[in-house]
Amino acid sequence: MREARMKKRNKQAFISVTIILLWSVNIFAQAPDTLWTRTYGGAESDASYSVQQTTDDGYIIAGWTNSFGAGNSDVYLIKTDENGDTIWTKTYGGTEYDEVNEVQKTSDGGYIIAGGTYSFSAGNCDVYLIKTDADGDTVWTKTYGGIHGDYAYSVRQTSDGGYIIIGGTHPTGLEMGDVYLIKTDMNGDTIWTKIYEHDGYDYAYSVQQTSDNGYIFVCNLNYVDINLTRTDENGDTIWTKIYGGADRDFAYSVQHTTDGGYIVAGYTFSFGVGNNDVYLIKVLPEGATPQVWVKPSLFSFILHPEESKIEPLVIGNSGNGILTWNINENPPVDWLMEDTTNGSVYPEDSVSISLTFDATGLSQGLYFDTLVMSTNDTNNPTINVPIELRVIVSDVIFVFPNPFVPKKGHTILTFANLPNEGTIKIYTIAGNLVWNHSFAHPEIFYSWDLRNDDDKDIASGIYIYLVEDKSGDAVKKGKFAIVR
């Protein structure tokens, strides 16, 4: 159970039924208007962690309450109509701390709730599973775990009518935790359990059943990297994938996509422009050829295992793209490129890999992908190369990032879709010329290192850019900000 939850709470639950999509791509659209907002709770602290729309167009909300119930905190279930007005509320639990992380509708019209309990545990905390009918009345409750602490973050009803539960466990009583996967029948009785051990603290927050009755779940490896694991119907591992960069990266949700792949959502300290940013990872369908977003024949570079980041690549949003990696290493390394279609091995000192992607119709913004390679070096068996990909609207001059926050290893401002020949001029807001540069055949983009004509770093502030074609006619002007 999270330590922060043990402290006294001082806020009521606030549910605003507005659909919000967190995406790492900038989409220029009008924000939706709020239809209504509601608050629920009593004189003490109350909060919610999960909400779903019900078949009658109302909502089911699950969380915890200090205002009602029998103990320090109890599971709190609220049923509303389509306007958010309360139809009924229920509490579940005992005299200690009992909390919930997720509620899901079940095929019989009732609900399944998963979280943790101190009231009914065999030790520190146990996984807490509650089955209710459509009115929130308890059908049965189950606890799972040992004496050292176990907790559930996600539950799904499976195709056989049972349930799959995922969370964390401390089987040895040490501070480090492991992923805990539990399969039950329709009555909550255990069919099997699996513990997935990694180095450090590893809890899983989201699980889904796959089309072949296996499972896909996402966890965080010791607060550093994202681990996506695919299992068979018995919970035995088929494959795992690791995502992330040089800093900390986290994931809290995995979902199926219509193309047969997966989408993973979380946040990242490794990529983006801020302290931490929304991190969205699109995973290809199993058996598909790896792809990245690129523009034809523009990029060729050397990758080394110690490289943790490559400057953002730029593509237009029309046509197919192809990107080639020339990969070599000194001393020589036998390379194996991970290819899910045929398992091809490239045991040479240097290999060339080309991947393609159709960028037609993609929204303008920043996308992320990861090139995954493995070697026969047992000390460094897997190399993950994060790639930032900037999609721009074809034939529209674009300056990015804007605003720009220079940081170590990343001090390049990019002008995209320039004319074939011309001049870029940068002025201060007072009209003083800072930088004047002529270009020819820039193809997709031209980069500037934020140094003026005297080769000195420019200061923070608002700047004006003017792009002229070779005849001296103004093609585009605008503003950008530098924040150091």
State whether 176 and 201 are in the same domain: yes
311-346: per-residue pLDDT in tens? 334 444 444 444 444 444 444 444 444 443 433 333
Asked if residue 103 is part of any domain, the answer here is yes
State whether 193 and 335 are in the same domain: no
State whether 95 and 230 are in the same domain: yes
Asked if residue 294 is part of any domain, the answer here is no
State whether 388 and 402 are in the same domain: no
For the chain, how long is the longest CA-to-CA vector?
81
The beta-strand segments (E) located in 262-303 are 262-268, 277-283, 300-303
Judge contact between 434 and 458, C-beta under 8 A: yes
Asked if residue 295 is part of any domain, the answer here is no
Mean pLDDT on 240-249: 82
Full residue range of the structural domain in which residue 466 is found: 398-482
Name the token pair of 102: 């997720």
Share of the chain above pLDDT 90, in %: 32
131-160: per-residue pLDDT in tens? 999 999 999 999 998 888 899 999 999 999
Say how far apart CA 198 and CA 224 lie, in whole Å.
Answer: 12
Name which of 292, 289, 381 is nearest 343 in CA terms: 289
State whether 246 and 123 are in the same domain: yes
State whether 78 and 122 are in the same domain: yes
36-91: per-residue pLDDT in tens? 999 999 999 999 999 999 999 999 999 999 999 887 899 999 999 999 999 999 99
Say how far apart CA 451 and CA 314 lie, in whole Å.
Answer: 22
Last residue of a domain, one of 234, 251, 283: 283
Say how far apart CA 430 and CA 349 lie, in whole Å.
Answer: 55
State whether 354 and 454 are in the same domain: no
Instruction: Count how many domains the chain has.
Output: 3
Say how far apart CA 427 and CA 397 lie, in whole Å.
Answer: 18
Judge contact between 67 and 50, C-beta under 8 A: no
State whether 226 and 338 are in the same domain: no
CATH number for the domain that contains residue 276:
2.130.10
CATH number for the domain that contains residue 474:
2.60.40.3080
Say how far apart CA 104 and CA 50 lie, in whole Å.
Answer: 9
